[in-house]
Structure 1
Amino acid sequence: MMSKMDLIDPAQFPELRLLLWNRDATRPIGRDEAFELYERNWRHVAVDQLTLAESTLIEELKEEFGSGHMLTGPR
């Protein structure tokens, strides 16, 4: 069972919110789901637009779910 600490509020992370274009971006999502979204859709992330908080989140998720890596493919 997920706790509130395991959930991410996409409204706090602009690029993540944009990746949720076909979902309810106001619904908190699991950390694992956020990592999968970033990894699968990295080509759509405006890296130069990432806030410090979102960059930090991505680094944390990479460590937690990707052993320090994210499979993003060429940009």
Structure 2
Amino acid sequence: MRIQVNKYPQLRTLCWNRPDDAVVDGPEALGLYENNWRLIDPEGFDPQEAKLLAGLVARFGNGVFMPA
């Protein structure tokens, strides 16, 4: 699974130090969300990004989201 960071505003915020055309894989994206959850605005998720996060949790987190 390859995720274009620029398609997801909250993920883009977490990848501020990466190039604009950055791509991450699924486990890395889930890790970014979990390890940096304090920087996320949960109400700022658009439906597309919420669906992405739910899919990442289901596929790579065994259904468990564990923010740090």
Give the gaps of 5 or more residues in structure 2: none
Q: Deviations over 1:8-28 (max 9, x none)?
A: 011110000000012224211
CA distance in 2, matches of 1:32, 1:8: 10
Q: Which residues of 2 match residues 1-75 of structure 1 at below 5 A?
A: 6-73=1-68
Aligned pairs, number: 68
More relative contact order, 1 or 2 (CA 8 Å, 6+ apart): 2
Q: Identity rate of aligned residues, in percent? A: 32
Q: Over aligned residue pairs, what C-alpha RMSD do you find?
A: 1.0
- Segments of structure 1 that go 5 or more residues without pairing to the other structure are 1-5
